[in-house]
Structure 1
Amino acid sequence: MSTEVSFELPGAALSAHRWLLACGPDAQSHPPLIAELYADLLGNDAVAVGGYLYERADAGGRDEANTSGTLDRLHGEWLPRVEALTTALGAVNTAQFNGDALTGLVEDWRAVVTGLHGDVVDPAERVAEEFIARFAARFGAGQRDDARALIEAIPSRASRRAAVVWEMSRLLRSQGSRLSQTFGPTGGQREYMELREHAQRDFPHAVPGYRQDVPSWSEDHAMVTRAVRTAAALPDAASPLEAQQRRLAQRNSAQAELAASANEPAVSGLMALLPAAQEHALAVDALAEPVARLVAAARAMWLGVGSRLVARGGLAEAADVFYLQRAEIVGSVGGGEGPGSAEITRRRAEHTAFEAATPPSILGAGVTA
């Protein structure tokens, strides 16, 4: 029996505001535990609906933070704090896990998220948005994508990972009709395995949307194989390497257009702003792997708690922990009763239905059905 879902804000007070889907086309539906956690970490201007995160569009003016030197602050202060939090999550003794320990971890995590956004990500994003707006004002609204090409991180961690998967897929595709789990003792097989080791070594925590309820490449090596086999079904024209080259060519063309008009005050201002405008994409890219490690450590911690509850008879399997609320976890590790297997099954089915649904890009005030 299918589960019907709808995207409803939890309460009239929230419905009085407009809410934008976070992460846009890359948005992921999280199970109850993680959706609650991420919404909590982002504060009062975020809400989870169907496991998807929405951010308040009319939250008012953001504090004017320092918009220069964001990368220096990221590497000097915030990346070490992310790593320290990852270490703390990895050191949790789940046998002694309780409500106070969980509260302390969430508070530390919230401080890192709030600081990163307030001191690095948001200020850098404002500069990037200003650059795009000023570029479009000078060269035309249709040239916004050229502005984005100028400030993107090329290559990025994601594009490097895609390139490795693509190279593996071309080797697999070269086997013709033999798209099986393995192929013969050829030089191609040796090269394939070397690339696979490279993928798992350099991109071990590849997960979509920082989800904690799904394994990463380091935990489930078959994920790499599935990614490669999916890419192997694509034609050569879908190459991410060629797409990156096209993007670089677009960037070079836009840079030449800027240089040709450098004597104009508006354009010279854009050129002066460009290095700072590029810092947002560079910061997000620099954060990608450390945050992925943080997510992997959190997943291991939750599964450890889940295993403890399985041993007590409170859960059928460790991964059921992702379908509890934090308060239910605190109660369960303290010896209380959890929601029961029937409710866990219902929540799993609801989450699956939300995953399959297309979330609205906007919720709340002024949005008509």
Structure 2
Amino acid sequence: MSTEVSFELPGAALSAHRWLLACGPDAQSHPPLIAELYADLLGNDAVAVGGYLYERADAGGRDEANTSGTLDRLHGEWLPRVEALTTALGAVNTAQFNGDALTGLVEDWRAVVTGLHGDVLDPAERVAEEFIARFAARFGAGQRDDARALIEAIPSRASRRAAVVWEMSRLLRSQGSRLSQTFGPTGGQREYMELREHAQRDFPHAVPGYRQDVPSWSEDHAMVTRAVRTAAALPDAASPLEAQQRRLAQRHSAQAELAASATEPAVSELMALLPAAQEHALAVDALAEPVARLVAASRAMWLGVGSRLVARGELAGAADVFYLRRAELVGSLEGGEGPGSAEIARRRAEHATFKAATPPTILGAGVTA
């Protein structure tokens, strides 16, 4: 790990199970209020450790039915419900917000999350997993990545955003330390600013990993600049555009391999399964912007609640609300005392330490230090 912190499951009962880091390489550490919220939304099969979300690997019990037409259900029912929840969060009167209102919002949000997973994401993922397994059985275990290339969303919203950041980063990298001296209103600076405006217009709600404690690209253009400067430190060989082209070439090669064996019954069945196997990645991509808007609306609501507590002398700054636990927030809203500025500062420091750490991908049963 890059930073010495301890990732311990909260209790022996949880340690009896195996837990997998959610969101993989995109995993983010969330402050206490949001980590608790997200773990609650995912139910008993999720836990927050160091602000990172982990999901039980041995949860089981997934409904095996309803694995077709997931995109139709997503667009017909669940995307409208995500938008309705976003609207509800934006309409919250934070001056009258209390524990009952919070409970109602969490229940509504949980219903959407549970429905999306049970009716769309989990069934679609099962089909994708079946396709990969059957492809590997026919073409070899070493070809699993070819199967994944066949069912990925290429390009995805995330890859398009990465491409814009990369283009800006190459401008920045080309100027090096002479950036401020060499960028003029008719030169690289104008091109850079046009790209930044493009990024903020097309990806206004972009935040890393559903973080609610950081501003979106439209809220603070410095967030775009940070992403660009991070990318500028990378060599040209790290280009996401070239990576996408390689992935497309891999997909075309795998498609040709399927076509060459199309007369085989097993391969014919694979080709028939392919459209359904692609639905999981397409569903995740279709959800990206609506969920980002939902997260942005939630952030605005929390900051409104935080501002109310600042006015009452409960918090030093509106963003301190993210470092309360839910019970503490409800207590403060109903006239009780919060944890105090010293404890908030301690939690901020602890969160910063976990953010800088590399979380283990697996916790619990069978994991050795």
Structure 1 length as normaliser, TM-score?
A: 0.96
2-side partners of 1:5 and 1:314: how far apart? 30
Deviation for aligned residue 1:231: 2.4
Indicate conservation of the 8 Å contact 1:31/1:51, yes or no.
yes
CA apart distance, 1:63: 1.2
Residue 3 of structure 1 contacts residue 349 of structure 1 at CA under 8 Å; is this kept in 2? Answer: no
CA distance, structure 2, for counterparts of residue 351 and residue 198 of structure 1: 32
Give, in angstroms, the shift of residue 88 of structure 1. 0.5
In structure 2, do the counterparts of structure 1 residues 353 and 232 end up closer, same or farther at CA, with 3 Å as the change threshold? Answer: closer
CA–CA separation in structure 2 for the residues paired with 1:25 and 1:174: 28
Cα distance change on mapping 1:38 and 1:267 into 2, 3 Å: same
Residues 272-327 of structure 1: CA deviation (Å, up to 9, x unaligned): 11000000000000000000010000001001111111111111111111111111
Is the contact made by 2:21 and 2:362 (CA closer than 8 Å) also made in structure 1?
A: yes
Structure 1 segments unaligned to the other structure (5+ residues): none
Aligned-pair CA distance for 1:176: 5.3
Rounded Cα–Cα distance in structure 1 between residues aligned with 2:158 and 2:184: 30
Question: 5+ residue gaps in structure 2?
Answer: none
Q: Retained in 2: the 8 A contact 1:20–1:361?
A: yes
Decide whether the 8 Å contact of 1:3 with 1:350 is kept in 2: no
Distance in 1 (alpha carbons) for counterparts of 2:10 and 2:358: 18
Structure 1 residue 232, shift from structure 2 partner: 2.8
1:206-251 deviations in Å (ceiling 9; x for gaps): 1111011111101111111222233233333222111111110110
SS in 1 for 2:20: strand
Q: Name the CA shift for 1:79/1:6 in 2 (closer, same or farther; >3 Å).
A: same
Structure 1 residues 328, 2: CA separation in 2 closer, same or farther (over 3 Å shift)?
Answer: farther
Q: 1:263 to 1:350 in 2, by over 3 A?
A: same
State the shift of 1:122 in Å: 0.5
Shift of 1:181: 9.0
The 3-state SS of whatever aligns with 1:174 is helix
Change (3 A) 1:253 1:279: same
Quote how far apart the aligned CAs of 1:187 are: 4.1
Preserved contact between residue 2 and residue 357 of structure 2 (Cα < 8 Å): no
Residues 91/197 of structure 1: CA separation in 2 closer, same or farther (3 Å cut): same
| Cα 1:182–1:33 shift into 2, 3 Å | farther
1:108–1:182 distance in 2 versus 1, CA, 3 Å: farther
| CA contact 2:4–2:357 (8 Å) conserved in 1 | no
Cα distance, 1:182 vs. partner?
Answer: 7.9
Q: What is the count of residue pairs matched by the alignment? A: 369
Q: CA deviation at 1:2?
A: 13
Give 1:331's aligned residue.
331
Q: Which moved more, 1:345-354 or 1:282-291?
A: 345-354
User: Is the CA contact 1:97–1:333 (under 8 Å) kept in the aligned structure 2?
Assistant: yes
**Sequence identity percentage:** 96
Q: After superposition, where does 1:93-104 map in structure 2 within 5 Å?
A: 93-104=93-104
Cross-structure match for 1:79: 79
Question: 1:270, CA displacement in angstroms?
Answer: 0.8
CA offsets 1:19-75 (integer angstroms, 9 cap, x no match) = 111112221111110110000000011111111111111112311231111001001
Alpha-carbon distance in 1 for matches of 2:157, 2:75: 17
Contact 2:36/2:325 (CA < 8 Å) preserved in 1? yes
Aligned mates of 1:88, 1:284 — CA distance in 2: 23
Could you tell me how far apart the structure 2 residues matched to 1:233 and 1:178 are? Answer: 15
Partner SS, residue 363 of structure 1: strand
Mapped to 2, the partners of 1:219 and 1:182 lie a distance apart of 28
Q: Is the 8 A contact 2:3 2:357 kept in 1?
A: no
- Larger CA deviation: 342-351 vs 295-304: 342-351
Q: Secondary structure at the match of 1:322?
A: helix
Q: Deviations over 1:62-107 (max 9, x none)?
A: 1123111100100110000000000100111111100111010000
Q: Distance in 1 between matches of 2:150 and 2:99?
A: 47
Render the CA deviation track for 1:154-190: whole Å, top value 9, x for unaligned.
Answer: 0000110111112222333343552339821224333
Instruction: Give, in whole Å, the separation in 1 of the partners of 2:259 and 2:198.
Output: 39
Change (3 A) 1:7 1:177: closer
TM-score (normalised: structure 2): 0.96
Could you list the per-position Cα deviations for residues 186-214 of structure 1 after superposition, in whole angstroms to 9, with x for gaps in the alignment? 24333322221110001011111101111
- Runs (4+) of structure 1 moved beyond 4 Å? 1-4
Partner of 1:167: 167
- Is the Cα–Cα contact under 8 Å of residues 200 and 218 in structure 1 kept in the other structure? yes
1:80-139 per-residue CA deviation (whole Å, 9 max, x = no partner) reads 000000010011111110011101000000000000000000000010111111111111
RMSD (CA atoms) = 1.9
- After TM superposition, give the deviation of residue 3 of structure 1 in Å: 9.5
Q: Given that residues 207 and 292 in structure 1 are in contact (C-alpha distance below 8 angstroms), is that contact kept between their aligned partners in structure 2?
A: yes
Give distance in 1, aligned partners of 2:265 and 2:180. 60
CA distance in 1, matches of 2:251, 2:257: 10
